[in-house]
Chain A
Amino acid sequence: MLSIKNLQVRVEDKTILKGLNLEVKPGEVHAIMGPNGSGKSTLGYTLSGRPGYEVEGGSVTIDGADLLELEAEDRARAGLFLAFQYPVEIPGVSNMEFLKAALDAQHKAQDKEPMSSRDFLQAARAACKQVNLPAEFLKRGVNEGFSGGEKKRNEIMQMLMLQPKICILDETDSGLDIDALQVVANGVNSQRSPERSFIVVTHYQRLLDYIKPDFVHVLSDGKIVKSGDSSLALELEQQGYAWLQDQPAPAGEE
């Protein structure tokens, strides 16, 4: 589904990702953990096409197609979704208008009929309810004046509506209390299916108690230095990231 090979990314003058490899197959949940500054967010931004993230080498394909060639909007239409660590506030554009425009654009790209206003509203209300966001939030400006937790839940709400094939959650757990964490995790878990994959980027093991990953990868200095099953997350929780310093890269990675 998503194949990342030897990805190298520069932001301004600094190379952040230095040869990252990751294979994500349909239905899999991959957790990417690592210390601050290891390149976790860079991965999400690069995959979603944020301007300023220069790919210096490597490749990324989605269902065999070159992802990096696509504009940000076309990546979304190909089924990629990034839940932002810092969702952007857009005053004056209502959440509802935003969501409808996004959904219409994606449906159009997929040659589907646009959703009727009535069906849309019904689905949007249900999605809000699922993440415990009052339906009034649909009328407010996109993320405008939302609390940190509300912004994160709004991201998951969008994910529920857009039904992407591959979801990248960029530190969606940061700044959430335990209740909100559960709401977010339940939202994600409800979407797990044999066709849909997740990349859960997080600093803490806590989220992985609720979203159980199939694979855990440790990102350090722009490379994945260790991969394992969910027990690796617990190991990291106990030992911290300091031991990574002396860890050689696993075989097969540069």
Chain B
Amino acid sequence: MTNWLSSAAQRGEAIHDWLAPRRQASLRLLQESQWPTRKTEAWKYVPINVWERAELSTAVASNIEAEPIEGLNSFDIVIRDGQLQADTLAAAWPEGLQVLPLASAEAARLDWAQATFAQVKPERHLFGLVNDVLATDGLIIDVADGARIERPLRIVNIVNGGSEAHARVLVRVGSGAKVSIVEHYVGNQLSQSTGFAEYSIGTDAELEHYRFALQSGEAMHIGGSHFDLAERATLTSNLVAFGSRLSRVDMDINHKGEGAKALLNAIYLLDGKELFDLHSNIEHAVANGTSEENVRGIVADNSRAVFNGRIHIHRHAQKTLAELNNRNLLLSDRAEINTKPELEIYADDVRCAHGATVAEIDKKAMYYLQSRGIEREQAQIMLNFGFINELVDDMPNAVLAEWLRPQLRQRFAAMEVK
């Protein structure tokens, strides 16, 4: 163990809240863990040492405000530097929706929360363990069986400069229920944060999910969204990520009941010296599940993207349909992409497809646009948009898609073809 890990474990040992008994297993695993090196497969392309070396005391202070998204009409709940801002909880929630601070007596009485904590996310993700051990605050969301919640819930997770923050979100979507949840992460100054969310999606339930991993600059963030799908559950998940000094997101989708459907669309856009690492893992443990995963990335300048997409089809998961594709656009010779689809198939009657491509900007397309009077910079922005438009258009919530576009445009405008 290194200093950072042992300090995390020590701090974790001193926590005695209602989740403490649930944290014990993670604490033991953390105490046995080694700091990853370049030889550690799961962290191979990520210079994880910047995390340990970070001197938060030198950080530039920041005070980011949570701006509402116009037209979204969402319940906005703010977690600032790992602390739930209780004043952002609504005075009254729609029928069938319960939202509680993780650190509350009521939360402690929820059996499902006890049973979900640390059970959906993978056991051995190093920073998942850190979050298990150190996240004492966060949010609990319960959508009752059959409840259809019209207004989206947006969790704005702000990490300001100089902070170390660990937040946890637990969500239960009851049988036949429907809800839309946006995890929105921001922060641009030197900070260290982990943010993990675990979702249990019930029989015939529907979850529309967004993770906007928009940390940038010096903000270091490692987190994940993890989903258990019961019978015929439907998940539509949309990830949009900008890179930062260190940024990693894990998305795990576990088909636990037959006939569930999952769609994961992910976009990452990197510039400068940014880094972003996406690990996705889809477990088809039972038969008749469907999963589709579309991952697109644009990397400019000196940035680096890592994508590791694993699909694991268990022996009894017959009639599984699983598709995974990862397409990347490389805008500079110095930018780097490490992409690795991993298929493990142990059932014989399945349909499974995967592919990964890395391309450069299409010079003929560029010339075609210019030949119509469109200047080079704008042509570039249009081609970048063209690469990801499909996934933005695909977002079930058009307000969120339209809210994103100007931000994407700004990103693209800063990117150069080299």
1/0 per position for A175-209, CB-CB distance to B under 8 A?
00000000000000000000000000000000000
1/0 per position for A97-111, CB-CB distance to B under 8 A?
110011001100100
**Chain B residues positioned under 8 Å from A249 (CB to CB):** none
- Chain B residues in contact with chain A, CB under 8 A? 362-365, 367-376, 378-379, 382-383, 385-390
* Interface hit among A70-78, A113-121, A223-231: A70-78
- Judge whether B383 and A93 touch: CB under 8 Å: yes
What would 6 A/B residue contacts be, using CB atoms closer than 8 Å? A90-B383, A93-B385, A102-B372, A109-B373, A162-B372, A162-B373
1/0 per position for A131-149, CB-CB distance to B under 8 A?
0000000000110000000
- Judge whether B386 and A90 touch: CB under 8 Å: yes
- Judge whether B368 and A105 touch: CB under 8 Å: no
- Judge whether B364 and A77 touch: CB under 8 Å: no
- Judge whether B363 and A141 touch: CB under 8 Å: no
Bound form: Cα–Cα A105–B388 in Å? 23
Closest 3 CB pairs of A and B: A92-B386, A76-B373, A102-B372
**Contacts between the two chains (Cβ within 8 Å), count:** 82
Task: Give, as a whole number of angstroms, the nearest-CB distance from B251 to chain A.
Answer: 23
Task: Give, as a whole number of angstroms, the nearest-CB distance from A73 to chain B.
Answer: 4
B393 to chain A: closest residue by CB: A92
**Chain B residues positioned under 8 Å from A48 (CB to CB):** 371
Q: Flag whether A158 is at the interface (Cβ < 8 A).
A: yes
- Chain A residues in contact with chain B, CB under 8 A? 48-51, 71-73, 75-77, 81-82, 84, 87-93, 97-98, 101-102, 105-106, 109, 141-142, 158, 162
**Chain B residues positioned under 8 Å from A87 (CB to CB):** 368
- A101/B365 contact (C-beta < 8 A), A71-B376, A76-B373, A92-B388 known: no
- A93/B364 contact (C-beta < 8 A), A102-B372, A162-B373 known: no
Task: Give, as a whole number of angstroms, the nearest-CB distance from B119 to chain A.
Answer: 39
- Judge whether B373 and A93 touch: CB under 8 Å: no
Task: Give, as a whole number of angstroms, the nearest-CB distance from A170 to chain B.
Answer: 11
Bound form: Cα–Cα A44–B389 in Å? 32
- Judge whether A90 and B387 touch: CB under 8 Å: no
- Judge whether A97 and B373 touch: CB under 8 Å: no
Task: Give, as a whole number of angstroms, the nearest-CB distance from B88 to chain A.
Answer: 37
**Chain B residues positioned under 8 Å from A91 (CB to CB):** 386
**Chain A residues positioned under 8 Å from B378 (CB to CB):** 101, 105
User: Contact check: which of A88, A97, A109 meets B368 at CB < 8 Å?
Assistant: A88
- Judge whether A71 and B370 touch: CB under 8 Å: yes
